[in-house]
Chains A and B, each alone.
Chain A
């Protein structure tokens, strides 16, 4: 982790079922807590996007909505830093093999935009070697990464 922990940092671990109807309460609780810590609405929007895309990807593409599999989440939040690791029980994937959704020839392809959105909204984002665990961080003290823009 790249940022220095602040005194108000809290951490939590949850295990979510592989259902696309099961995780919105968790996201809402994280956003409410961040709002209490003073995060502004544009940052909450960014984190909401990262949570939505990462957890839905883990359920849909990672665990393939298999009820026998879970999504494990570790999260650390403070007034200056949001950090999360989302792991599914799937085989993993190579994010470099995902076609660039910004490619003008692929603009009409319906899927593949979640990765670009997470990359744009987070300060840092990386998958483990297997490709089944995603770690993301948004730090108010660090400059955000460049949006995934191809123009």
Chain B
């Protein structure tokens, strides 16, 4: 995988732990790049277990939510498991308002996610 601009990816056993470099995920170009880097994880690199750690994320737009939903669908199609972690209360509220807390598997911490993957 080329060096990602929007993501920081660490391998832990067979699990890819992904952090977002942007604190505010708003810019349409950034969202497009971020989405492609996520898609590459499963479509090019064949990663099957992914943790998305949101500890650096302070704000995200509905366009970013849309990209995460597309990623979730692609992951499901390729048989990859994905868990979201370290979501701040304000960001969690965004997921709850839009019912996406029911679509995504969410754990409090990275350790909680690693324990079940």
Contact = CB atoms under 8 A, between A and B. Distances in A.
A67 interface: no
Interface residues of B, number: 24
Interface centre among B73, B90, B97, by most chain A C-beta atoms within 10 angstroms, is B97
Interface centre among A20, A104, A107, by most chain B C-beta atoms within 10 angstroms, is A107
A44 B45 CA distance: 39
B100 interface: yes
A49 B65 CA distance: 13
B116 to A, nearest CB: 21
A113 B98 CA distance: 6
A56 B28 CA distance: 10
A52 B65 CA distance: 13
Interface centre among A20, A24, A108, A110, by most chain B C-beta atoms within 10 angstroms, is A110
Given A108-B103, A117-B97, 20 more contacts: A20-B27, A21-B27, A21-B28, A45-B59, A45-B90, A48-B59, A52-B26, A53-B62, A56-B61, A56-B63, A107-B100, A110-B65, A110-B70, A113-B98, A114-B61, A116-B97, A117-B62, A121-B97, A147-B96, A149-B96
28 contacts: A20-B27, A20-B28, A21-B27, A21-B29, A42-B90, A45-B59, A45-B90, A48-B59, A52-B26, A53-B61, A56-B63, A101-B98, A102-B98, A102-B99, A104-B99, A107-B69, A107-B102, A107-B103, A108-B69, A108-B72, A110-B65, A110-B66, A113-B98, A116-B98, A148-B98, A149-B97, A151-B99, A151-B102
